[in-house]
Chains A and B, each alone.
Chain A
């Protein structure tokens, strides 16, 4: 029996290759996901191990606000604490250090800030060479106007010793320094993982990064030999009291790793999501291939039965074939996944501009187990239905003429309808109820399977209509009728395409709705004609800011009526972390749609706040209430816990434009982790030309490379561009699902043509030319493709609509169907159909007439 299976496998190499390809792609993504995340995790572990080699304990100031400020802000640790730590027994070395994210260097060529796609842009106090950092060229900074930078940054910005360098720091707008030296990291590396360093003198670092002299952002402690990290940590905690956060070196490393792993999990989830789609589409493909093969082998299988093979044996011949394909496809997919992981690792390295430590890939056992399990199980699931069908073949079928009998579609249609309804209900529950994401995904999955089961019964009428468009000639007519011949086969092929197209259509509807909603939001609610906004690719860490002196200059422009800076940060309000903004209230009212409910609405004085109605409700605040406010940097006049009592002077109506707490500008300047404004709103006088003023403002902003003036229209365009960029990434991923579905179309056509050899021979004999034969196959292909795409667009629009409706409260108020794009998808479907037809059409045209019409 086994030998018979392998023989039949070998005789259908191409078919099986095509059907297995979907599994290869899916498994590739699975193995790539696991190998990549394991490889990168190991690389980063190495990296952090190097960085923290001699760090046994680290002391930082307690955060004033939850997690606020990130690595762009640290509560300063005073000089005196260093002396206290030094006296703790077991401490070999204790040094105050400054290292904060937010030293942004200006690119000499384009005047913009050198961006970073994740790794921090560190501003440090250079206190001499360490195990980690050694000077490669030049010297340490000798005065406050000199800096030392790492080799990676020198390379990125083409800086040499003696060059001037413009740096924006956390506390200071653009300032010019001179490069006194360039350093390398241990092992001759340019950076550890793409991060950049600007090393100031200690005094300058304290001034521009920390905002406090005689203080540090951390104390790094090295223990004496034989002293454990945990013991030393406990001793230091005792010595310092509760005002500081003390961590062991291992804890620091673990936190850094956790951050990176969170970032890496995005990669992994995207790949696994893609694997899910690919494998789901692949199931359709394999199901169809096996169904056709079983149908074509009916006589052969019936003969086996007549000769005494049991149903179970027949079923296993099909299932074993599936297992063999699953194993081979999984193996190939696993290998391809290694390639994907290597490629993505290279991509990560090139985008961070630095090679990661550790060469080669690390293959965790889970990658192998998951690859093979997933690949084999998916193939088996797809083969179950055809296997059962094969087992039901009666021995008498061996004697019968192979007939094109169609089983009635009633059962499958009813089952499909029930499944679709169930799926939609689940989806609704997931979207509108409080069910988890799994209810939503399960709902989508059920809906897809249900629609796929409904497809055969809608295939005939739809294909009839679609086909008429293409059947102006005889070959077209023949092609259309061929596509309607076997509704199940056509339906499953089209359904595979439907899945990919519907996901694309769904995200397109969502994206388009977001764009329209955003545009409406801006045009409805924003009255300011010009906005000062940070550049998109500013990078992580410190947010783009500008020099507040700009505001006065803008105010002085003849065409400007009002201007207000804006900035935001998180603060704690009676211990609750809340979103806080600082802006000029009276001016703000001229700029955006905000309305006060009760209290006084005027420019705030220090110690006064305005809250939104929801916050007032939740925290039970009234006009005149006193509330404790804690900001990232302790406000003057705050108590030991960093909390300052403030008075609520007004309550306003929360809107899409403004929510949360409003502070006075002075309090924000003193308390927010970055004192400079990040945005600005400009209202023009009547009759002013917005473009003229925009140029004037841009001139004023010349020294602020992180922001620029934008009109409302540009803001909307920028938002749309962002959405489009995201859509393109999703399109590229889903395009692979389409590729798999195209393989399905090719496969179905090729098998159908094989089945219709006789017919082709007859047609060729009575005078159908090769070109006409090819046209016939092409029309069939296009009809299937268009059918699948139409289904996909309908399902996708439904999916998109449901999600948009569910996100109504999150600001997506408008539902927008991007017809142009949807029509483009349909045109793409036609092209896809054309493309899929090429090989089968050539094959059909090459049919040997004589062999086709010979009977014996």
Chain B
């Protein structure tokens, strides 16, 4: 381990998963993601990451550009293959699954919210929301769907095409879509990155609400300390390793932690 991180507050050096007092929605055990095959070109995007994401918790993954936070999320969500290590969603170990298995897993166990281009332009808002269910040929639970739609506050715009919605509205549709299939875990990749602060706050409140009220597990990649402050817990990545974590984060503490990380890396 890099000794320069040792003095940091909340620094973690353990590679052991968090204690199993809570059920785990997603888990990575000693995950490596290596690009390049010769010694010279070898880049460790993830270098032995082990982390548990508890059920019903909102976790933010932070870190500077190139720290591996997006790669970690992609590996957890079954979008990217790990070089070494184990990844599970719920009690399903997903590394080693073939494409069909992964696709089925994503459809039933995972929800996604991307930074942009979340919606299919040919489908209406409502059709976009039910997309994962429709793909799997499942019928939506009407009461649940009504509740989700009510919570995201889209009632009168359900028949609109994405081009007729504002950026914030589009992102709320994406949230509803992620939630409607009741996935094991929702992965959100910079969900507010493209929004103004007010729309961003709406989306974050909704995510918070879905954790508190519906017991949804959310893992969010972000570089925005304000967004991270909505989470129950923040994990900090640098150079492909988890270098710190923080429970009950506030915007200021996260900001400080980021500064310390930057300082430690000599930026």
Task: Give me the interface of A with B, judged by CB distance under 8 Å.
Answer: 404, 473-474, 478, 481-482, 485, 758-759, 762-770, 772, 849-850, 853, 855
Complex Cα gap A770–B79 (Å): 14
Closest to B106 in A: A767
Asked if B120 is at the interface (CB within 8 A of a chain A CB), the reply is yes
Residues on A with C-beta less than 8 A from B115 are 855
Complex Cα gap A482–B122 (Å): 7
Residues on B with C-beta less than 8 A from A764 are 103
Q: Are A759 and B114 in contact (CB under 8 A)?
A: no
Q: Are A850 and B74 in contact (CB under 8 A)?
A: yes
Q: Are B117 and A767 in contact (CB under 8 A)?
A: no
Minimum Cβ distance to chain B for residue A477 (Å): 8
Q: 8 A-B Cβ contacts within 8 A?
A: A474-B137, A478-B122, A478-B123, A485-B121, A485-B122, A765-B112, A766-B106, A769-B100
Q: Which of B52-60, B128-136, B215-223 interfaces with chain A?
A: B128-136
Complex Cα gap A481–B137 (Å): 18
| Of B80, B104, B111, B134, the contact of A474 (CB 8 Å cutoff) | B134
Given contacts A481-B122, A758-B117, A766-B112, 7 further A-B contacts (CB under 8 A): A478-B123, A766-B135, A766-B177, A767-B135, A768-B103, A770-B100, A772-B135
Residues on B with C-beta less than 8 A from A850 are 74, 79-80
Residues on A with C-beta less than 8 A from B111 are 766
| Of A482, A767, A853, the contact of B136 (CB 8 Å cutoff) | A767
Asked if B182 is at the interface (CB within 8 A of a chain A CB), the reply is no
Closest to A479 in B: B122
Q: Are A766 and B132 in contact (CB under 8 A)?
A: yes
Candidate in B111, B135, B136, B137 with the most chain A CB atoms within 10 angstroms: B135
Complex Cα gap A762–B189 (Å): 13
Q: Are B103 and A770 in contact (CB under 8 A)?
A: yes
Minimum-distance CB pairs A-B, first 8: A767-B107, A481-B122, A474-B134, A769-B103, A766-B132, A767-B106, A758-B117, A767-B135
Q: Are B107 and A478 in contact (CB under 8 A)?
A: no
Complex Cα gap A574–B137 (Å): 86
Q: Scan B96-124; emit 1 where CB is below 8 A from any A CB, else 0.
A: 00011001101110011011111111110
Closest to B123 in A: A481
Candidate in B103, B132, B134, B163 with the most chain A CB atoms within 10 angstroms: B103
| Of B99, B104, B114, B163, the contact of A762 (CB 8 Å cutoff) | B114
Give the residues from 71 to 85 in chain B that come closer than 8 angstroms, CB to CB, to chain A. Answer: 74, 77, 79-80
Complex Cα gap A765–B115 (Å): 14
Q: Are B120 and A762 in contact (CB under 8 A)?
A: yes
Q: Are B99 and A853 in contact (CB under 8 A)?
A: no
Complex Cα gap A147–B137 (Å): 84
Residues on A with C-beta less than 8 A from B136 are 767
Candidate in B116, B120, B137 with the most chain A CB atoms within 10 angstroms: B120
Complex Cα gap A485–B122 (Å): 7
Residues on A with C-beta less than 8 A from B79 are 765, 849-850, 853
Complex Cα gap A482–B111 (Å): 24
Give the residues from 128 to 185 in chain B that come closer than 8 angstroms, CB to CB, to chain A. Answer: 131-132, 134-137, 163, 177
Q: Are A762 and B106 in contact (CB under 8 A)?
A: no
Asked if A855 meets B122 with Cβ closer than 8 Å, knowing A768-B103, A769-B100, the reply is no
Residues on A with C-beta less than 8 A from B134 are 474
Minimum Cβ distance to chain A for residue B93 (Å): 19
Give the residues from 38 to 90 in chain B that come closer than 8 angstroms, CB to CB, to chain A. Answer: 74, 77, 79-80
Complex Cα gap A763–B118 (Å): 9
Complex Cα gap A855–B163 (Å): 19
Residues on A with C-beta less than 8 A from B116 are 855
Minimum Cβ distance to chain B for residue A412 (Å): 23
Closest to A770 in B: B99
Minimum Cβ distance to chain A for residue B162 (Å): 11
Minimum Cβ distance to chain A for residue B161 (Å): 10
Residues on B with C-beta less than 8 A from A849 are 79
Residues on B with C-beta less than 8 A from A855 are 115-117
Q: Are B120 and A768 in contact (CB under 8 A)?
A: no
Closest to A478 in B: B122
Minimum Cβ distance to chain B for residue A480 (Å): 9
Residues on A with C-beta less than 8 A from B132 are 766-767
| Of B104, B108, B117, B120, the contact of A478 (CB 8 Å cutoff) | B120
Complex Cα gap A404–B117 (Å): 14
Asked if A766 meets B104 with Cβ closer than 8 Å, knowing A478-B122, A849-B79, A855-B116, the reply is no
Minimum Cβ distance to chain B for residue A747 (Å): 21
Complex Cα gap A473–B137 (Å): 8
Q: Are B114 and A767 in contact (CB under 8 A)?
A: no
Residues on A with C-beta less than 8 A from B74 are 850
Complex Cα gap A853–B163 (Å): 19
Complex Cα gap A60–B63 (Å): 105
Q: Are B135 and A474 in contact (CB under 8 A)?
A: yes
Complex Cα gap A855–B136 (Å): 27
Q: Are A769 and B120 in contact (CB under 8 A)?
A: no
Complex Cα gap A615–B236 (Å): 106
Complex Cα gap A769–B135 (Å): 8
Q: Are A767 and B177 in contact (CB under 8 A)?
A: no
| Of A473, A481, A485, A767, the contact of B104 (CB 8 Å cutoff) | A767
Closest to A845 in B: B99
Complex Cα gap A584–B121 (Å): 80
Minimum Cβ distance to chain B for residue A467 (Å): 12
Residues on A with C-beta less than 8 A from B121 are 404, 485, 759
Minimum Cβ distance to chain B for residue A757 (Å): 10
Minimum Cβ distance to chain B for residue A848 (Å): 10
Minimum Cβ distance to chain B for residue A759 (Å): 6
Closest to A849 in B: B79
Residues on A with C-beta less than 8 A from B108 are 767
Q: Are A766 and B131 in contact (CB under 8 A)?
A: yes
Complex Cα gap A629–B8 (Å): 124
Complex Cα gap A615–B106 (Å): 86
Complex Cα gap A404–B162 (Å): 12
Residues on A with C-beta less than 8 A from B106 are 765-767
Residues on B with C-beta less than 8 A from A765 are 77, 79, 106, 112, 114
Residues on B with C-beta less than 8 A from A485 are 121-122
Closest to B71 in A: A850
Minimum Cβ distance to chain A for residue B191 (Å): 13
Complex Cα gap A473–B99 (Å): 21
Closest to B103 in A: A769
Minimum Cβ distance to chain B for residue A331 (Å): 41
Complex Cα gap A850–B121 (Å): 20
Q: Are B118 and A762 in contact (CB under 8 A)?
A: yes
Residues on A with C-beta less than 8 A from B77 are 765
Closest to B193 in A: A855
Complex Cα gap A769–B117 (Å): 19
Minimum Cβ distance to chain A for residue B28 (Å): 17
Closest to A772 in B: B135
Residues on B with C-beta less than 8 A from A404 are 121, 163
Closest to A773 in B: B103
Q: Are A768 and B135 in contact (CB under 8 A)?
A: yes
Minimum Cβ distance to chain B for residue A762 (Å): 7
Complex Cα gap A485–B111 (Å): 27
Minimum Cβ distance to chain B for residue A740 (Å): 29
Complex Cα gap A474–B116 (Å): 23
Complex Cα gap A31–B97 (Å): 56
Q: Are B117 and A762 in contact (CB under 8 A)?
A: yes
Residues on A with C-beta less than 8 A from B163 are 404
Closest to A771 in B: B100
Minimum Cβ distance to chain A for residue B173 (Å): 13
Asked if A767 meets B123 with Cβ closer than 8 Å, knowing A474-B134, A849-B79, A855-B116, the reply is no
Candidate in B79, B117, B122, B177 with the most chain A CB atoms within 10 angstroms: B122
Closest to B105 in A: A767
